[in-house]
Amino acid sequence: MSCAPANEPWEHAKAMAELTHTPSTPLTARPQANAVTRFFRATEIDTRLLGMVGALLIIWVGFEILSDGLFLTPRNLWNLSVQTASVSVMATGMVLVIVTRNIDLSVGSILGFVGMVMAVTQAEILPKLIGFNHPAIWIIALLVGLLVGTAIGALHGAIIAFLKVPSFIVTLGGLLVWRGGAWFITSGRTVAPMDPTYRLMGGGTEGSIGATASWIVGIIACIAIVGTIINSRRQRQRFGFPQRPMWAEYFLSALGCVLVLGAVAVVNSYPWPTAIARRYADANGIAWPDGGLFIAHGIAVPVLIAIVIGIIMTFISTRLRFGRYVFAIGGNQEAAELAGIKTRWVTVKIFALMGALCAVAAAISTARLNAATNAQGELDELYTIAAAVIGGTSLGGGMGTIAGAMLGALVMQSLQSGMVLVGIDSPLQRIVVGVVLVVAVWLDTVYRARAR
């Protein structure tokens, strides 16, 4: 077998350096003739993330078999995506919190409080001021929520950074305070209904963008994927750095596009329910065909929100100075301080960002329920933390990815809705989720110990 990968000179230099300079380097870093190893090195695919995708597929196929083909249907997968949106939005922020060796136990309560604030704003305050169904109601309510969420987060961050109270305690206090606050605002009364435009953020038949728009989004995503790969290659060419072999670039582009377009195809094959489609047909004067009218849901708005948040958070954490500082602080706080980083301000910003993300999650959650209750988001802090940790965020700090956390949220949600679908009793559901969390983190520990 020919053993000449395209990046050979690079590998060669690497091996030379290790032989001549660092005899203590572990042998694993040397190039190996193993095809699988070479494949992963050339494509730079994160094998950890790949393991999670594998686990997700096993869960999906497992439930597909157990439920006699009910799990892997467009309808269920579409619902799954909507159910995952709220927690995955918060999980992206939790990654940054945990990377700096902090924790936020208050996200569920902030969600409840901010959701209640937004509900009262749009259902009780604004109609009196600007009238019912005013087109600006949804955006004003959302902005108020974002403002309140950010302020709560910043307050938590300031107490943690400047008064030096451990984040565990501050946010444990926050868990009680904001849950109490949510109760206090309306004395425990549920607030409903939400503004019709606001409700689109929760998904549902109306809150989906339809087939054509979904394909457009999918195609834009594909262009973005290819563009990113080309741009990164150009950047590396600019200084003559080692590059991925061409076949790896093609492979990654193709893989990305297939995944995106596949997901769009799935959500586009979930039609509107007959009753709604018929009402729509009647309202728009469309003749009702014999086989029924097929109107696809397409991507749900909350899912679109979550994806956009995921992209923004990935950008923040990998491309901006702020993100670099977050990881540096997580790796070595003292070093970060000595390098002149204002670590306390970074902490305040992280928690403020977390608060803003809770507000987004609150909007999705209240819009979906079409109401705000004082129990909204209970236990969400634990699902959020679990999603981040299952997604590879290390509680020891310094490590974690946004994509991993979102995938972790999807794994958790898949387990839960799968168990509902199969008809497992709810006490047993919690037991399973708890066990899975512990096992997942144990497997990750084993993986990391071996990878070292």
Partner 1 sequence: MTESRTPLVEMNNISISFGGIHAVDNASVDLYPGEVVAVLGHNGAGKSTLIKILSGAYRRDSGDILINGEAAVINNPRDAKTYGIETIYQTLAVADNVDAAANLYLGRELRTPWGTLDDVAMEHKTREVMGRLNPNFQRFKEPVKALSGGQRQSVAIARAILFDARILIMDEPTAALGPQETAQVGELIKQLKKEGIGIFLISHDIHDVFDLADRVTVMKNGRVVGHARTQDVTKDEVLGMIILGKVPEKAIPGPGAMANV
Judge whether 112 and 366 are in contact, CB under 8 Å. Answer: no
- Give residues 393-422 in contact with partner 1 (rule: CB under 8 A): 398-399
Among 332, 430, 431, 442, binds partner 1 (CB under 8 A): 332
Task: Provide the minimum distance between the beta carbon of 452 and partner 1 in the complex, in angstroms, as a whole number.
Answer: 8
d(CA 108, CA 263): 29
Q: Which of 255, 320, 435, 438 binds partner 1 (CB under 8 A)?
A: 320
Separation of alpha carbons 58 and 4, rounded Å: 35
Could you give the CA distance from residue 232 to residue 64 in angstroms, rounded to a whole number?
39
- Give 137 or 348: the residue with its C-beta nearer to partner 1: 348
Give the shortest CB-18-to-partner 1 separation in angstroms.
Answer: 8
Other CB atoms closer than 10 Å to residue 44's CB: what's the count? Answer: 9
Closer CB to partner 1, residue 149 or residue 330? Answer: 330
- What is the Cα Rg of the chain in Å? 24
Instruction: Tell me the window of 10-18, 211-219, 385-393, 435-443 that interacts with partner 1 (CB under 8 A).
Output: 10-18
d(CA 239, CA 351): 38
Find out whether 387 and 96 touch, Cβ atoms under 8 Å: no
Q: How far is the CB of 27 from partner 1 (least distance, A)?
A: 13
Q: Restricting to residues 210-249, name those near partner 1 by CB under 8 A.
A: 235-236, 238-239, 241
CA geometry: angle 162, 163, 165, nearest 5 deg = 120
Q: How many residues bind partner 1 (CB under 8 A)?
A: 35
- Name the residue type at position 213: A
DSSP secondary structure letter of residue 373: -
For residues 119 and 252, give the distance between their C-alpha atoms in angstroms, rounded to a whole number: 44
Q: How far is the CB of 249 from partner 1 (least distance, A)?
A: 16
Out of 4, 287, 338, 449, which residue is the one contacting partner 1 (CB under 8 A)? 338
Shortest Cβ 315–partner 1 spacing (Å)? 8
SS3 call for 372: strand
- Which tokens go with 409? 């949220």
- What is each CA distance from 124 to 132, 181, 358, 374, in whole angstroms? 10, 17, 22, 16
Return the structure tokens found at 369: 């329920």
Residue 331 in contact with partner 1, rule: CB under 8 A: yes
Q: Confirm if 384 and 91 have CB atoms less than 8 A apart.
A: yes
Which of 341, 356, 369, 387 is close enough to bind partner 1 by CB under 8 A?
341
Does residue number 392 form part of the binding site for partner 1 (CB under 8 A)?
Answer: no
Stretch that binds partner 1, among 19-27, 122-130, 254-262, 430-438 (CB under 8 A): 19-27
Shorter beta-carbon distance to partner 1: residue 10 or 251: 10
> Is there a contact between 391 and 409 (Cβ–Cβ < 8 Å)?
yes
Task: Return the residue of 17, 213, 428, 439 that touches partner 1, per CB under 8 A.
Answer: 17
> Binding marks (x or -) toward partner 1, 289..318, rule CB under 8 A?
--------------------------x---
Taking CB under 8 A as the rule, does residue 21 contact partner 1?
yes
Minimum CB separation of residue 41 from partner 1 in Å reads 11
CB 424 within 8 A of CB 69: no
Residue located via tokens 């959701």: 115
Binding-site member from 161, 336, 362, 403 for partner 1 (CB under 8 A): 336
Largest Cα–Cα distance in the chain?
80
Minimum CB distance to partner 1 smaller for 108 or for 323: 323
Q: Is 69 in the site for partner 1 (CB under 8 A)?
A: no
Using the structure block, give the residue that is written with the tokens 């572990």: 26
321 binds partner 1 (CB under 8 A): yes
Note whether 48 binds partner 1 by CB under 8 A: no
Check: CB of residue 52 under 8 Å from CB of residue 391. Answer: yes
Q: Can residue 324 be called a binding residue for partner 1 (CB under 8 A)?
A: yes
If one asks whether residue 425 binds partner 1 (CB under 8 A), the answer comes out as no
Q: Does 450 bind partner 1 (CB under 8 A)?
A: no
Binding footprint of partner 1 on the chain (CB under 8 A): 13-14, 16-17, 20-22, 24-25, 29, 235-236, 238-239, 241, 315, 319-321, 324, 327-328, 330-332, 334-341, 398-399
